[in-house]
Amino acid sequence: MDNELVDLINTIKRIKSANQFPNYIDYIQFPFFRNIEIDQRINFDFPLTAFIGPNGSGKSSTLHALYGCPEGRTPYEFWFSTPLDTIDYFSSDGRKLRQSFFYSYKDETGEELQVIKARINRENNPDYWETSRPLIVAGMKEIPEGKRNPPIKKNVVYFDFRSELSAFDKYFYYETLPSNLRSRTRQDYLRNRSKKLRNLFAGNYDKTYAHGVAQNKDLENLDANEIKMVSDILTKNYNEIKIIYHKLFHNWGNSILVKTNFHKYSEAFAGSGEMSVIRLVHGLLKATEGSLVLLDEPEVSLHPGAQKGLKQFLLEQIKIKKHQIVVSTHSPTFVEFLPKEAIKIFSQNLDNGKINIKENISSNEAFYFIGHKINNKINLVVEDILAQKILEKILQAMGEHVNNRFVVKFLPGGANALQQHIASCCNMNIDNCFFIFDGDQKRVNDLFNVELLTDLDKNVNYLKNKIIEQTGSEIKFYIDGGVQGGNQEQLVQMMITYLRYFKNHVYYLSAVIPEDIIWSDDIVQQKLNSQDYERNITQINSWGSSKQKMYETSKILFGVETQIDAFEDMLINEWIKKEDENYFAIKNIIESLSIEYY
């Protein structure tokens, strides 16, 4: 995991906990909005939120709703009715529901304010949105005397990266050359008009005019900090970047001029991702503190390294300027390492076609919902087959999105063999392998932290004793030969590496043995008829361990000892329904690995 990124995320969490984000939208809820399931809520517990889901799952629509939250904003700018695509009231259980959403924020005193915005069908404007009185049936708090709370005051920055086209691309790819122009081709037209653009970039004049009307806005030179940010994201060294907004190519659009150590070129030669990053960095660094920043698929045309750089930039801006940023994305690279509270999954209910929104799911689990294949699965290694069956059953119960991330493996040879196998894994730096031992192998309450070693402790005898203390076994390390029994410095390093790996990759079942987890007197009584139970209960209770009880009881139930597997399966199926403390102990291990391991 990227330690710098983790530190940045933890810093942002501390700032958020200290309530240092001004005018922050805490959640948004949808009593009825577009195709989203009624009363879905999205909590913004982390200032960078990622919407993940397949195409058509409502991510962009939700960004449009967020855009319409602050004072003076409305979703109408993106979503409106036409004679072909009408927006009607929805009738459910005899109720007519307006298209609406409400959100929560805190005022300067810390009081929660809820604001609802609803679409009102007015005669002169069928797509008029306004704040209205609280919708009590949707869970809003009542306000005395029929009043309504004021909308949040927040600057909004919105970028749809799928439609971020440069002035050159707009004309070259989407315009038809008028017949009355002297230019014979698009190339001729652009070549001719670029002469004026070159003079603007060179500073030969500030404005160019047509029929007395200015054809451009002021030229903007990115400062050294902006240039550094763009260079860091795109992993490319820029010396100079200029932006100008103009209509020299018929329609209004942006042009850039960049200079590196080797080249000088405009957006005509730049990549679309390059153009988008320059525009975003320039726009975001100018944004007022505490802005609401909405980004629709920012990963478009960016290679994975640039996506990581963009994520780092956004988090840095959140830390510095206390922005609230919401991103719609299909990129596993962009979402990687984000905390689970930052991730929201949009998926369609196949029964009714409505969009459901899930929260608190790790990034790897999240991309299961959009069909992203996980190649580097987490391996859980156990010391017996019953433990393997128990873990596999819990993974199934936790859902396919979790089960898809894990593989449970049984390695024969018992605990000692597994402890020796750990030495091989840590030497080969296999980071996706975790060992879950039976509870009877737990020798100490807290596994040893090698970061606490002093220089005096870093010797073979001390480390050997620490390993035996942790494992109960003497682990064999294979080192280079030489005088006095081999390379002792190498041995010390291997032992330290083993102890570090052991602490980070070893877990224990909460019960002494797996049989203790699933054995149940009540289940046995249910499965045995009353006569068999009365006749055999004394004998069953006389057997010392749950392992022996299971072995002998299976013979009573099935008549042959070879049916122990069937008896285990029966007990596991009954136990999994109870969700007792053993179940949650194992589930917590799985959840922690699912969140922390990428």
Domain 3-161+289-366 class in CATH? alpha beta
Report the distance separating Cα 118 and Cα 131, nearest Å.
6
Domain residue limits, the chain: 3-161+289-366, 167-269, 378-508, 514-591
Report the distance separating Cα 191 and Cα 259, nearest Å.
20
Flag whether the pTM goes above 0.85. no
Supply 170's token pair. Answer: 């707009």
Q: Where are the alpha helices (DSSP H) in 442-545?
A: 460-471, 488-505, 514-518, 521-527, 530-542
Enumerate the β-bridge partners of residue 259: 240, 264
- pLDDT (0 to 100) of residue 15: 95
| pLDDT exceeds cutoff 60 at 87 | yes
Cα angle for residues 520, 523, 529 (degrees, 5° grid): 135
Report the distance separating Cα 597 and Cα 205, nearest Å.
56
Report the distance separating Cα 441 and Cα 438, nearest Å.
6
Report the distance separating Cα 354 and Cα 60, nearest Å.
15
560 Cβ partners below 8 Å, 6+ apart? none
**pLDDT digit string (tens) for 356-365?**
998 888 776 7
Report the distance separating Cα 130 and Cα 123, nearest Å.
15
| pLDDT exceeds cutoff 90 at 501 | yes
pLDDT band at 513 (very low <50, low <70, confident <90, very high): very high
| pLDDT exceeds cutoff 90 at 29 | yes
- The CA-to-CA distance between both ends of the chain, in Å, stands at 7
Tokens 């009714």 appear where? 352
Cα angle for residues 110, 112, 117 (degrees, 5° grid): 140
Average pLDDT over residues 149-157: 94
pLDDT band at 34 (very low <50, low <70, confident <90, very high): confident
Which DSSP string do the residues of 408-445 spell out, in sequence order?
A: EEE-SSHHHHHHHHHHHHHHTT-TTEEEEE-GGG--SS
Average pLDDT over residues 10-37: 92
